[in-house]
Amino acid sequence: MNFKNSIIILSVSLLASCKPNHVAIEVSNTSNVVHEKTTVEIIWADIASKLPSIDPSKLSVIDAKTGNELTHQIIYHGSQTPQALIFQVTLAANESANLLVKEIAPKHEPVYKTFGRYVPERLDDFAWENDRVAFRMSGPALAGTSPTSNGVDIWMKKTEKLIVDQFYDDELNNNKPYYVDHGEGLDCYRLGSTLGAGGISPFVNDSLWIGKNWITQKVLDNGPLRVAFMLTYNNLTVGNETYSKEIVISLDAGSQFNKGVVSFDGAFNDIMVAAAIRHPEIFGTFAGTTDYRENLNAGYIALSETATSSVNAVPAGRTYVATVIPDGKMTEFRYQQGHLLSIAPYKKGEKFTYYFGGGWNQWGFPTDEAWFNYVAGFAEKLKNPLKVTVK
């Protein structure tokens, strides 16, 4: 063998052996707010640029200090190629954590804490959940048989189990209605033709314009840490005009709040929109048993109310709902048309972000004040996000 060539071969081998097999990530909480089970999201291009040949199925996220493996999820946003990497951390005030993204298959199967699906067997519901709470929104098949809206229905849970499939199966096949608590929660929320637990609609000509049920649905991501989907509407009547709407909703493990990213289209330029919570008195019931908090600067409205099962009127404790509009965009609070309204400006073509969710006094929130404090803390964390550095 030529000595010169052997040196070249040796040099190439040494370079190959020095190829990096991980990416270092620092996550810092620079605020005085505790971040518990907060999702960290990293653009996939930032990973792929440092590990260009990485196989998304053979990736692990490791705590550099403890060596423990963290549950992670590759986000696709409905595409065929990775768009982001997510995992969750808990950080005290002014605390940092160092993680390693490694080219190695995970040792453990993830525990799925989020789930969502189209439910054609129940009149085109779209239902979704995490380990804390569940929701659904009505589709086209229900439009001719029941009050309609683009509002949000909420199911109360008191288990970390994923219960959507079970609840539907019990309701439709086992004579166990989900309006009754069989030990894991129930549907005790009355939606009707309202925006329910955080729906969003145009607020034009001093009126809230509640639309009809969604027209199309598409699942974008489905666990273990995040469920995300898109709903479209082409039936929002606003005065003499018809608007269309697209909303992408995502729910992360451990959170009481969904993230909604919504856009409207129609014959307008700038309008106002309202994220809404229906007030139970719109049905002429529960007078005197509600309480709420609103904070214009923090951008939130939170409501507590007495809950009652619709089967035999069985008391079901206290239910809680809230909306948060971040970044100081909320300009006005109103109680109007049976709703608590968070009103904000909207520009045509904008992707408008807000948050909506809820909870129950039988699962994590023993008092109304515990719920109001959670909402205030959630809004504060939105103002103080974690700092993420890919090294």
Strand order in the sheet with 60-63: 69-70, 60-63, 96-102, 22-28, 387-390
For the stretch 131-150, pLDDT in tens is 999 999 999 999 877 778 99
* Token pair belonging to 364: 């994590």
What pLDDT is recorded for position 4? 46
Residues 6 or more apart whose CB falls under 8 angstroms from that of 243 comprise: 202, 211, 236, 237, 264, 265, 266, 268
For the chain, which residues score pLDDT lower than 50? 1-17
Domains in the chain, start-ordered, CATH in brackets? Answer: 16-110 (2.60.40.1180), 114-385 (2.70.98)
For the stretch 336-347, pLDDT in tens is 999 999 999 999
What pLDDT is recorded for position 20? 65
DSSP states of 263-282: EEESS-SEEEEEEEEE-GGG
- Residue 325 CA to residue 66 CA, distance in Å, equals 37
Distances (CA, A) of 53 to 18, 45, 48, 99, 102: 15, 12, 7, 20, 12
Strands 216-222 and 226-238: what pairing? antiparallel
Place of tokens 């023993």: 366
Distances (CA, A) of 385 to 36, 90, 177, 388: 12, 12, 41, 9
Residue 129, exposed/middle/buried by CB under 10 A (0-12, 13-18, 19+)? buried
What pLDDT is recorded for position 211? 92
- Residue 26 CA to residue 391 CA, distance in Å, equals 8
Q: What 8-state DSSP symbol labels residue 386?
A: P
For residue 28, count other CB atoms closer than 10 A to its CB: 15
Residues 6 or more apart whose CB falls under 8 angstroms from that of 382 comprise: 324, 326, 355
- Residue 44 CA to residue 75 CA, distance in Å, equals 9
pTM for this predicted structure: 0.93
- Residue 98 CA to residue 292 CA, distance in Å, equals 40
What pLDDT is recorded for position 14? 38
- Residue 136 CA to residue 258 CA, distance in Å, equals 12
